[in-house]
Amino acid sequence: MIRAETRGRIRLLRLDRPEKRNALDGATVQALLDALAEAGRDDCVAVVLAAEGASFCAGADLAEMKALAADPAAREARSALTIALMEAPGQVPKPVVAAVQGAAMGAGASLALACDAVVLAENAKLGWPEAKHGMLPKLVAPVLLRHLGPKPAFDLLATGRSLAAEDAMALGLATSITPAERLIDEAIAYAEAAALLAPAAMGPLKRMIRESP
């Protein structure tokens, strides 16, 4: 579900459910939480979060959500995992860079934004389509609201429309755009460049940014 490798000083973590468009089920979320925690403890200087296949992440695994609908306790536990995932990149005391190709939807889009930097492939799309499914995006909307004001956030959440890479960049939701074939190399290069501070200083820097008004 998560494939980890080391590229020089960088830990590369890949979502590895391409047959499911890297949709986030509970097992994948837990595996990613574990991988991020491990990266925070080891001797890498930064993390790049990427994905296998044509899409970065289709969002929550809807089949799992449907299966949990009749079990309130299991549904609550699954929601807690999602909340933890949205906070996890910020808690790693090292730069965490999302490398996004294709579609990043719902929880997938918020996971990308939860990272410290977002490198988009030219074919990337970000969107929060929960409204189109009659769902309230209460678990993933807070990440978007940290990046946008109420009016732009309402627009994206209420209409469920997708943003092309250039539009996401114009709204300040991305750090850079690159050709798809260079995505991983560009994300790794950025992660190296952003790893000037030791974890003892990087952690407070990230916390200061997250807590700024």
Mean per-residue pLDDT pooled into runs of 10, the chain (213 residues): 97 98 97 98 97 97 91 95 98 98 98 98 98 93 95 97 98 98 98 97 96 83
Active-site residue among 52, 64, 122, 130? Answer: 130
**C-alpha dist (Å) from residue 30 to 23, 25, 35, 36, 199:** 13, 9, 9, 10, 23
pLDDT at site 212: 85
> For domain 2-211, which architecture applies?
Alpha-Beta Complex (3.90)
75 touches 68 (CB < 8 A):
yes
Smallest CA-to-CA distance from 118 within 180, 49, 166 is with 49
Secondary structure tally for the chain: helices H, strands E: 9, 9
> Which pLDDT value is given to residue 158?
97
- Tell me how far apart the alpha carbons of residues 23 and 66 are, in angstroms, rounded to a whole number: 14
| Overall pTM > 0.95 | yes
What gap in Å lies between CA 21 and CA 33, rounded to an integer?
19
Distance CA 4, CA 205 (A): 26
Collapsed DSSP state (helix, strand, coil) of residue 188: helix
Residue 200: other Cβ atoms inside 10 A: 8
Dihedral, 68, 69, 73, 74 alpha carbons, nearest 10: 10
Q: Is 130 a known active-site residue?
A: yes
Give the alpha-carbon dihedral of 19, 99, 120, 172, to 10 degrees: 120
Contact assessment for residue 20 and residue 1, using Cβ atoms and an 8 Å cutoff: no
Pairwise CA distance, residues 165 & 123, whole Å: 7
